[in-house]
Each structure stands twice: as structure tokens, then as C-alpha cells.
């Protein structure tokens, strides 16, 4: 008996709405870029690959996809540049012809690119704007660049520079003619982290809005249930309602749901699927929350209050502001706290993988689910 399914759940309407938004025709105007946030393992990257990119290709756009977590040993700027360069390489013959026949002002750009296909770096005299403009002309189509886990670009100065270069390319390519040549989609697993790209005047996409990417819902679990039940005995089937409730317990994470269903389908007795499914989901939830509880218990007092302050302030957190310093002191029941002690606490939290730091000094939670757990813990 097979107990797994390779169901791919598509969301074409959502993909179409995002493409419309990028063109300025949707309910929201995404011409300056789309910034989508969703927790890890909730289906965001699958949607990008299986739905959004195909929808873009259907419109004739030249598409570039970059996952900045694909190789975290590489600088994010290198990953972005490499993806663009690889796409340019797919137009090698076209660009070589343009290099020979283009107008004088284009010869340097196309000539340099045509001579540089074997390298993963742009020629020093060329900018990212030059490269993307060349790509739009070579493909005779707009370019759409989709960067997954885009907040990771802020972990290095080169990554930050790449984000500013991408914004400059957008402004240059989309101005004047009334026709958009560059579409930008940046996604992240943490809304507060991704917000570090848009909130301040010193950030590359200041003025844009981060949108919460919609989680998979009951339509997904209904389709999944219907794909699993034919593999089970007729008198021992999962109910759609039970599967959806379990899905909510594991934070709308498809992979976790599949693992629970597979285990229960193999081991559950007749008539107990619903109850076992709920218990399995509760067990995973408690295991995840128990791990967070253990992590918190191992923190020093100063590390704990810094973490609590980051959680409570969210994207408005400024580590050494008067408000934050007063909060630390209040939680520690002290009159004052020192900046060095807070910095040490932040460094320790980073080493433990609980807190993330942008290259310019802003901080956010590494995993957004920690905030959800903490808030539920406080209510309890």
C-alpha cells in the first residue's frame, strides 16, 4: 500500500493576480516591486517555482530565479550576479550578433558581455543595469527577477549594494517609455527581516510595502485528502475536516502534514485515523514549542530580556534606543543597563541562531515562529 502522494497543488489565480499587480493592473500596484513574506516551509518557494514563474513565462517575460539560501557559503551578491549572468549566457548567440551590429552606444555593453560568457562575473566596466538592459533587448521582452529569501542580501555589504543596484536598474529601465522592462519580486521567510529592505530612507526599496503571502488553506488540504484516501481501505479514510485541523496545528506546513499522514496511515488501527492525526499534529507542535522553551531556558537573563524586547517591538526594534534600554532595565528590574552588556547579549543570540543582524546593524528574529510561540505562551 502506498501511503504518500506527489500532489502538487497549484494556485494559478494567485499567480495571475501577482503578475497583474506587477504590471500595475491589479488591486494593488506592484510596479515598484512585490515583497512577499511567509514562514518557512509553508509552500512559498514551491509556489514561486510551480506557479509564479510559469505564469510569468506565459506572458513572454524573461525570468530569473535566485534562492539566496541555496548556498549560504556564497555572498548573496554573487548568487544574484551569477543568476543574471547565467540567463545572459542563454542568449549568447543573440548577444554576439547584437555586439556586431548594434548602435555605437551599445557596442561596449554587448561586446563586453559577448566576450565574457565563460566568466561568472560581469566585466568591471558594466553595471547590473547594463546587464539587465542588455537582457531585455536580447530577449525582446521584459525581465522578471524573483529573489527568494531576499532578506539574506542584507547580511553583507556586497549584498546590500546588489539590492541598491537592482533598484537603480528598475528605476532606469521603467522610466520614460511607459512600458515596464523590469519586474522585481522579493520574498522572505520573516516579515520583519524583509521589512528591513523597505522601511527606512537609507534602505534600497524605501516606500514599498511588505505583503504577507497567503498560507495554504482548506482547499489544499481537501485536495490532499482526496489524493490520499484512494490509497486506504474504504472503511478507514481521513476526513477533510480532520486533515485541515491537523494542518493548522503544524503551522500550515505541507511537509509536516505529509509526514504525519504517512506515519498514521501505516500504523493506525481501523477507525482511529482522525484521532491519531490530531494527536500526531499536537505532538509535533508540542515538540517544536518544547524545543523553543528549552532554548529560552538556557539563555542568560540579559539574553532573555533582549529576545523578549525584539519579539514585542517587532520591526520597530532599535537595540540601543531609549525605549529599548528602558525596557531592558525594567525587565531586569535594574535602574540602568549598559550598552556593552546588551551588545554581548545580541551577539550571543546571533551565535545561538535566534537573532539575525543586517549588515548595517538592525536586528530581527531569525525564525518568526518563535514570536508566535512566545505570544501563545504569554496568553497561556
Each residue's pLDDT tens digit, 220-251: 999 999 999 998 888 788 889 989 988 988 88
d(CA 62, CA 311): 40
DSSP state string for 305-341: HHHHHHHHHGGG--TTSHHHHHHHHHHHT-S---HHH
Q: Which three-class secondary structure state does DSSP give residue 65? A: strand
Place of cell 520573516: 190
d(CA 346, CA 358): 12
Q: Which three-class secondary structure state does DSSP give residue 94? A: helix
Q: What is the CA radius of gyration of the chain?
A: 24
What's the pLDDT at 312? Answer: 92
Least confident of 18-27, 31-40, 102-111, 349-358: 102-111
| Among candidate residues 251, 359, 250, 375, the one with its CA nearest the CA of residue 310 | 375
With cut-offs at 50, 70 and 90, classify the pLDDT of residue 286.
Answer: confident
At residue 366, what are phi and psi to the nearest 5 degrees?
A: -70, -40
- The CA distances from residue 380 to 199, 295, 308, 351, in Å, are 33, 18, 16, 29
Each residue's pLDDT tens digit, 85-130: 889 888 878 877 776 776 545 556 666 666 555 554 666 778 899 8
Least confident of 16-20, 55-59, 200-204, 266-270: 266-270
Amino acid at each position: 500500500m502506498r501511503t504518500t502522494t506527489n500532489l502538487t497543488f497549484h494556485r494559478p489565480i494567485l499567480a495571475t493576480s501577482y503578475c497583474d499587480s506587477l504590471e500595475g493592473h491589479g488591486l494593488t500596484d506592484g510596479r515598484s516591486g512585490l515583497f512577499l513574506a511567509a514562514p518557512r516551509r509553508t509552500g512559498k518557494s514551491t509556489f514561486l517555482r510551480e506557479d509564479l514563474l510559469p505564469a510569468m513565462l506565459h506572458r513572454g517575460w524573461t525570468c530569473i530565479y535566485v534562492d539566496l539560501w541555496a548556498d549560504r557559503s556564497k555572498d548573496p551578491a554573487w548568487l544574484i550576479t551569477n543568476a543574471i549572468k547565467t540567463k545572459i549566457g542563454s542568449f549568447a548567440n543573440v548577444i554576439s550578433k547584437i555586439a556586431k551590429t548594434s548602435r555605437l552606444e551599445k557596442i561596449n555593453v554587448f561586446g563586453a558581455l559577448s566576450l565574457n560568457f565563460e566568466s561568472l562575473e560581469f566585466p568591471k566596466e558594466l553595471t547590473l543595469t547594463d546587464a539587465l538592459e542588455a537582457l531585455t533587448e536580447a530577449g525582446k521582452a521584459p525581465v522578471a527577477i524573483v529573489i527568494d529569501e531576499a532578506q539574506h542580501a542584507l547580511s553583507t555589504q556586497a549584498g546590500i549594494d546588489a539590492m541598491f543596484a537592482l533598484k537603480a536598474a528598475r528605476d532606469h529601465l521603467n522610466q520614460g517609455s511607459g512600458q515596464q522592462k523590469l519586474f522585481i519580486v522579493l520574498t522572505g521567510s520573516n516579515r520583519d527581516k524583509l521589512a528591513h529592505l523597505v522601511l527606512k530612507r537609507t534602505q534600497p526599496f524605501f516606500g514599498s510595502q511588505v505583503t504577507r503571502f497567503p498560507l495554504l488553506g482548506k482547499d489544499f488540504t481537501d485536495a490532499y485528502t482526496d489524493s490520499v484516501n484512494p490509497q486506504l481501505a474504504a472503511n478507514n479514510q481521513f476526513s477533510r475536516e480532520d486533515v485541515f485541523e491537523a494542518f493548522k496545528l503544524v503551522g500550515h506546513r505541507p511537509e509536516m502534514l505529509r509526514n504525519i499522514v504517512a506515519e498514521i496511515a501505516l500504523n493506525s488501527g481501523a477507525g482511529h485515523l482522525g484521532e491519531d492525526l490530531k494527536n500526531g499534529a499536537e505532538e509535533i507542535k508540542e515538540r517544536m514549542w518544547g524545543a523553543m522553551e528549552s532554548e529560552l531556558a538556557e539563555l542568560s537573563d540579559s539574553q532573555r530580556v533582549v529576545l523578549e524586547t525584539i519579539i514585542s517591538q517587532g520591526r520597530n526594534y532599535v537595540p540601543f534606543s531609549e525605549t529599548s534600554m528602558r525596557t531592558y532595565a525594567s525587565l531586569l528590574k535594574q535602574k540602568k543597563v549598559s550598552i556593552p552588556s546588551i551588545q554581548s547579549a545580541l551577539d550571543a543570540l546571533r551565535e545561538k541562531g535566534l537573532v539575525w543582524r543586517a549588515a548595517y546593524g538592525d536586528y530581527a528574529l531569525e525564525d518568526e515562529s518563535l514570536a508566535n510561540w512566545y505570544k501563545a505562551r504569554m496568553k497561556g
